[in-house]
Structure 1
Amino acid sequence: MSRFSLPQDAAFQALNTSLGFDRRLWPFDVAQSRAHVRMLAAQGIISEADRDEILGGLDQAASELEAGTFPFLPDDEDIHMAVERRVTELTGPAGGKIHTGRSRNDQVITDLAMFTRDAATRLSGDLEQLRAVVLQVAEAHLDWPIPGYTHLQRAQPVYLSHHLLAYFWMLTRDIERFAAVLRATSELPLGAGALAGVNFDTDRRMVAAELGFAGVTPNSVDSVSNRDFVLDLLHALSVTATHLSRLGQEIVLWTSTEFGFMTLSDAWSSGSSIMPQKKNPDAAELLRGKAPRVWAHQAALHGVIHALPLTYNKDLQEDKEHLFDAVDTVALCIAAAGGMLETATFHRDAMSAAASDPMIAAVDLADFMVKRGMPFREAHGVVARLVRESVDGGTSLADVTTAELGAEAGAIFEQSSWLESKVSEGGTALARVREQLEQARALLPA
């Protein structure tokens, strides 16, 4: 019997179904159902015989899903209903008891929490691998000078190792954000029922222990309406995508003819349909282009949840496609970033030549005068005047400086002095970079 006298309109069915995208939750749904029916039997809510029948049906359904032979039907609204329907087909009346003591509301949010936890764990592992690649490439180019930029104008030279390690620390913060997601998914929602709890003496902590949750959610209303941990993961994904987009942009710049600092492997490059000479950094460009897509998913889910009354509303079905696509997109971007860096060739001569521009020794020159007693602002003005004279006269800043301030000031324009003078903690002097490398190595998993 059904509450309704008419079948659903085909357009409503198409709008309402989520099976096309939520079927990827099946491993979590099966694991959750196994734990749930074991608990029901342990509590005497169903018999041990029914438990064993249902577990057998779940095993077969899982095998079919794994093999791609699961018999989905047009009326399967979502993966949760499909699994329950199949288990009931396989086990008869026993299968009809699988849903005792739970609602699709707490079932869905539990599957989603398990997926989120799994995704955060996997992506943290991917970021660990990328972090190791960054460290490896930095160590291989320890003392290679490269210009540092502000406003995309040459500013001060640094070592390539120091520049690359900036991404190591970005990735470290990304990993910490994924760890926060794991903490946000540490409590089991199952047992909240539709919104008010269930009419059975269930043991939620038994289920939590089997599924790897540290505890259970304290409020049934909050349990079924909470999507904070999805927003947390989307935020972590968005920041990671932003960091990767910055790396992508630098790869695009560095591989250009104008910079010439880097050459990508052919395995990470594309050609042109009309220009046979082209070698395009498409993978790096896509690191830029994919980032706004990930941010948009986060913004869209905020839009879904904002002003939504408690507890469950069908709007919340819109959480999954945003989450799934963002996870898949960032996983691909992490793999691409690591692949490009690990196989790229850096060009020391081109970087060193660019880092030898005398203009980028201007701060060192100002500090030289400060060390001799001149206030910094006054020294800044003197150097600015020397720079203007150099530009206007078409003369090297080193020559202008030597002529006015003497050979000792002119000696500042030796490239190594610009780099090795940055002795403050966290600076680019080799001793400090070596300290940083040690700190970075200590953070990698044993």
Structure 2
Amino acid sequence: MIRHKSDNKNKVKGSLVSSNDNAKNQSVSVGAQHVSWGGSISCRSEHITSGILQSFKADRRFYSIALESTQAQIKAHMKRKLIKEADGRAILSAIEKIKEMSSVQSFDSLQFGDIYDYIEQQIISISGKSGHVFCVGRSREDQIAGDIRSWVRGSCDNLEDLLQALQASLIDKTEEHIGLKTVIPYYSYSQIQQPIYLGHQLMSYVEMFVRDRCRFKEIRKRANQSSYGSNMVGTILDLNRDAIARSLHFDDSTYNSIDSTTDYDHILEFLGAVNICGVHISKFIADVLTWLAPSNNFISLSDAIVVQNICNPLKRDPRVLEAIRAKVGKLLGLYTGVHAIANGLSSGVSQDIHEAVNSLIDSYDAVTISIKNIKTIVDDFVVNRKEVKEASQANFPTAPDVVDWLVMNLDITTQRAAEVSANIVKLASAKNTKLSLLPLDELQKIEPRITKDIYTVLVTSRAVINRRTKGGSSPVQIRKAIRNAKRAL
């Protein structure tokens, strides 16, 4: 992400570092690229190397975080008298002016190597000589590491909020269709397996997103340690790292300077959690596309989500759903790329891992827009009740319930019950009728001990109601799941 920049070697006079002590560290401009005095990019090679080391487009997302963390460190250093009062006030005033300026998005990315170059140049430009002490007590590496931790922490919070809103929409839709007693076909092996209440399938996504939220909470907790002021191998300056951490709402500061600047566990964990969330989103999209298929037509979506085909007005293309599927599909590639970068790196700081930031931001953007659109789809879709009722009764979907009834009531083995159920299905198929319409005497020819109670599993609506085991698809269990989910929200 960030071009490596050597630490400023500030002279310490007593406990004060003045602006004059850092004058030799001022930056100069070579062509369009800002580099440190005596930096490794020469005029001759600058046009070749500047592009590969630029990361402004990616790390501009850390703009506000970098300003806030810089402010906190300047204030802490002023209290410890590591920076003169006048210099500190000048830098803090410059930061406030930078905050009031136009968004960093409007600046030419070719003018600066990264967001930290931009902030440094702006502070020096506004505060003059005082600006040259703004990097006292910190390295570029611990600043970047701390800002990434802050960004991951905030991103976890944002994703948890989005998932919570999505869960609320799923619960609302479930409650709506519990009241309507909406039954839909449940698919296994790409075929209709058994009828279930729609609410049961919707609540399955709520459970998935509960786990996603838990993962983001755990990652946030582990990332919430401040690396600010750690430097790469520590410093002789009398820094109050814990005060900096508290002012930026971290739980603690890190305990090892090497690990502080080279630990990217939180990046890999975040990308991993985003990937799992993407799998859940992809599963939802696959189900919705099945429901939406013209051969099923179980649900309808508005024109904002399924676009009318320009050539055939009767054909509607699920472009939004397919776009979401593609966005979450690329998450695995982004994670794999970062894992490949991190694997094999030594414990020293290197440029390699900085490339991970692009993948980090791209993954966050992809999953964020996907969750928002999933919520829109949940709020928008309408069930076509006639179609789902017909599909729920087709192909003898309660045959597995017949097996369970035979085992429970006739004390026979599952294998024998499956044979009886298969013969009942064959009979209904031969007569071209529903299981529930077969006469009792016909059923007793297959198994004499069958009683009229078997119709509790032959009639689709009654079979669904009877699945009362914990986590089952009966209305009683769905309402329990709703209560539990609401408490978790």
Band the TM-score falls in, shorter-chain normalisation: over 0.9
Cα deviation, residue 39, structure 1: 1.0
Cα deviation, residue 390, structure 1: 4.5
CA distance, structure 1, for counterparts of residue 106 and residue 461 of structure 2: 66
Cα deviation, residue 6, structure 1: 3.0
Aligned partner letter, 1:88: I
Decide which of 163, 188, 198 is 1:150's aligned counterpart.
188
The answer to whether structure 1 residue 105 and structure 2 residue 141 are counterparts is yes
8 A Cα contact 2:338 2:356, kept in partner: yes
Q: Tell me what 1:341 maps to.
A: 378
CA distance, structure 1, for counterparts of residue 275 and residue 456 of structure 2: 46
Cα deviation, residue 345, structure 1: 0.9
Q: Tell me what 2:285 maps to.
A: 248
Cα deviation, residue 399, structure 1: 5.7
Secondary structure of the residue aligned to 2:304 is helix
Structure-to-structure mapping, 1:335-374, within 5 angstroms = 335-357=372-394, 359-370=396-407, 371-374=409-412
Render the CA deviation track for 1:389-418: whole Å, top value 9, x for unaligned.
Answer: 544675654566741326623563212221
Render the CA deviation track for 1:163-205: whole Å, top value 9, x for unaligned.
Answer: 1110111111111111012112111011221x20122110000
CA distance, structure 1, for counterparts of residue 140 and residue 260 of structure 2: 12
Q: Tell me what 1:424 maps to.
A: 469
Aligned partner letter, 2:134: I
Aligned partner letter, 1:185: A
Cα deviation, residue 80, structure 1: 0.8
Secondary structure of the residue aligned to 1:147 is strand
The answer to whether structure 1 residue 205 and structure 2 residue 250 are counterparts is no
CA distance, structure 2, for counterparts of residue 343 and residue 378 of structure 1: 46
Render the CA deviation track for 1:364-411: whole Å, top value 9, x for unaligned.
Answer: 212222212212221112222333454467565456674132662356
Q: Tell me what 2:229 maps to.
A: 191
The answer to whether structure 1 residue 48 and structure 2 residue 85 are counterparts is yes
Q: 1:6 to 1:284 in 2, by over 3 A?
A: closer
Secondary structure of the residue aligned to 1:156 is strand
CA distance, structure 1, for counterparts of residue 57 and residue 118 of structure 2: 12
Structure-to-structure mapping, 1:13-412, within 5 angstroms = 13-66=50-103, 74=110, 76-142=112-178, 143-193=181-231, 195-357=232-394, 359-370=396-407, 371-391=409-429, 396-398=434-436, 402=440, 403-405=442-444, 408=452, 409-410=454-455, 412=457
Render the CA deviation track for 1:330-357: whole Å, top value 9, x for unaligned.
Answer: 1110111011110111112211221123
Q: TM-score, normalised by structure 1?
A: 0.94
Aligned partner letter, 2:158: R
Secondary structure of the residue aligned to 1:202 is coil
Decide which of 451, 458, 475 is 1:413's aligned counterpart.
458
Aligned partner letter, 1:281: P
Cα deviation, residue 273, structure 1: 3.6
CA distance, structure 2, for counterparts of residue 432 and residue 372 of structure 1: 26
8 A Cα contact 1:237 1:327, kept in partner: yes
CA distance, structure 2, for counterparts of residue 148 and residue 226 of structure 1: 45
CA distance, structure 1, for counterparts of residue 439 and residue 53 of structure 2: 74
* Long gaps (5+) in structure 2: 1-36, 445-449
CA distance, structure 2, for counterparts of residue 131 and residue 175 of structure 1: 10
Aligned partner letter, 1:38: K
Count of matched residue pairs: 442
Secondary structure of the residue aligned to 1:158 is strand
Q: 1:204 to 1:258 in 2, by over 3 A?
A: same
Secondary structure of the residue aligned to 2:136 is coil
Aligned partner letter, 2:285: G
Cα deviation, residue 359, structure 1: 1.5
Q: 1:73 to 1:325 in 2, by over 3 A?
A: closer
CA distance, structure 2, for counterparts of residue 345 and residue 356 of structure 1: 20
Render the CA deviation track for 1:93-152: whole Å, top value 9, x for unaligned.
Answer: 110000011111111111111111111111111111111100011110012111112112
Q: 1:216 to 1:421 in 2, by over 3 A?
A: same
Cα deviation, residue 65, structure 1: 4.4
Q: 1:73 to 1:90 in 2, by over 3 A?
A: farther
8 A Cα contact 1:246 1:288, kept in partner: no
Secondary structure of the residue aligned to 2:186 is strand
8 A Cα contact 1:159 1:428, kept in partner: yes
Moved more, 411-420 or 201-210: 411-420
Aligned partner letter, 1:18: S
Render the CA deviation track for 1:62-96: whole Å, top value 9, x for unaligned.
Answer: 222437666x6855211012101110111111100
Q: 1:125 to 1:400 in 2, by over 3 A?
A: same
Moved more, 109-118 or 373-382: 373-382
Render the CA deviation track for 1:226-277: whole Å, top value 9, x for unaligned.
Answer: 1111111111111111111111111111112211110001121213242232
Moved more, 420-429 or 372-381: 372-381
* Long gaps (5+) in structure 1: none
Moved more, 398-407 or 169-178: 398-407
Moved more, 385-394 or 177-186: 385-394
Q: 1:440 to 1:6 in 2, by over 3 A?
A: closer
CA distance, structure 2, for counterparts of residue 411 and residue 128 of structure 1: 38
Q: Tell me what 2:478 maps to.
A: 433
CA distance, structure 1, for counterparts of residue 333 and residue 109 of structure 2: 33
Q: Tell me what 2:32 maps to.
A: none
Q: 1:440 to 1:236 in 2, by over 3 A?
A: same
Moved more, 270-279 or 48-57: 270-279
Q: 1:412 to 1:213 in 2, by over 3 A?
A: closer
Secondary structure of the residue aligned to 1:154 is strand
8 A Cα contact 1:76 1:82, kept in partner: yes
Cα deviation, residue 50, structure 1: 1.1
Q: Could you tell me the percent identity over the aligned residues?
A: 24
Moved more, 105-114 or 60-69: 60-69
Q: Tell me what 2:5 maps to.
A: none
Aligned partner letter, 1:62: K
CA distance, structure 1, for counterparts of residue 411 and residue 480 of structure 2: 31
Cα deviation, residue 223, structure 1: 0.8
Secondary structure of the residue aligned to 1:339 is helix
Cα deviation, residue 26, structure 1: 0.6
Moved more, 333-342 or 289-298: 289-298
8 A Cα contact 1:386 1:401, kept in partner: no
Greater helix proportion: 1
CA distance, structure 2, for counterparts of residue 326 and residue 21 of structure 1: 12
Aligned partner letter, 1:78: D
